[in-house]
Amino acid sequence: MFAKIRNRLTMVYAAVMVCFLISFIIASYTGLVWVLYREEQLDVEAFAKEEAHEHINVLRQKQLSANQPFVEDDEQNDGKLFHYVFDMNNQQVSASEPAPEVRAAIIESIGSWKGADGEAILTKLHLPSDNKNYFMICSLKVYEGDRALGTVFVGKDITSYCIMLKRLLLVLSTVCLLFLVIATFAGHVLAGRAIIPIKNSFSRQREFVADASHELRTPLSVMLSSVDAIRTDDENKFSTFSEQVLDDMKSEIKRMTKIVADLLTLARADAGATNLFKEKFDINNVAEKVIRSFQPVAAEKGIKLEFVGTNNLFIQADRERINQLFLILIDNALKFIQHEGAVILTVKQVTGSKRTVNIIVQDNGQGIPEDQQQLIFERFYRIDKARSRDAGGTGLGLSIAKWIVEAHGGTIKVESSVGVGSTFIVSLPS
Question: Binding residues for ligand ADP, per CB under 6 A?
Answer: 328, 332-333, 336, 363, 365-366, 368, 376, 381-384, 388, 393-399, 422
- Beta strand pairing call for 132-144 and 355-363: unpaired
C-alpha distances (whole Å) from 127 to each of 103, 105, 130, 145 are: 10, 7, 5, 39
Q: Cα–Cα distance between 420 and 130 in angstroms, integer?
A: 70
* Of residues 174 and 338, the one with the C-beta less far from ligand ADP: 338
Least Å from the CB of residue 247 to ligand ADP: 21
User: How is 5-57 classified by DSSP, letter by letter?
Assistant: HHHHHHHHHHHHHHHHHHHHHHHHHHHHHHHHHHHHHHHHHHHHHHHHHHTHH
Residue (150 or 341) nearer to ligand ADP, CB? 341
> Which residue number, 162 or 209, has a Cβ lying nearer to ligand ADP?
209
Provide, rounded to whole angstroms, the least separation between the CB of residue 365 and ligand ADP.
5
Any idea how long the chain is? Answer: 430
CA distances from 126 to 19, 108, 134, 157 (A): 36, 11, 9, 13
Smallest distance from ligand ADP to CB 193, Å: 35
Query: Distance (Å, rounded) from C-alpha 194 to C-alpha 5?
Result: 10
Q: Which residues neighbour 9 within 8 Å (Cβ) at sequence distance 6 or greater?
A: 187, 191, 194, 195
Q: Which is nearer to ligand ADP, 41 or 422 (CB)?
A: 422
Nearest approach, Cβ of 399 to ligand ADP (angstroms)?
A: 6
Instruction: State the Cα–Cα distance between residues 136 and 39, nearest whole angstrom.
Output: 11
Question: Please, which residue, 110 or 396, has the CB nearer to ligand ADP?
Answer: 396
**Residue closer to ligand ADP (CB basis): 150 or 397:** 397
Nearer to ligand ADP among residue 211 and residue 378 (C-beta):
378
Least separation, in Å, of the C-beta of 205 and ligand ADP?
Answer: 21
Q: How far is the CB of 388 from ligand ADP (least distance, A)?
A: 4
**Element (H or E) spanning 193, and its range?**
helix 159-232
CA distance 132 to 122: 13
Shortest CB 403 distance to ligand ADP, Å:
11
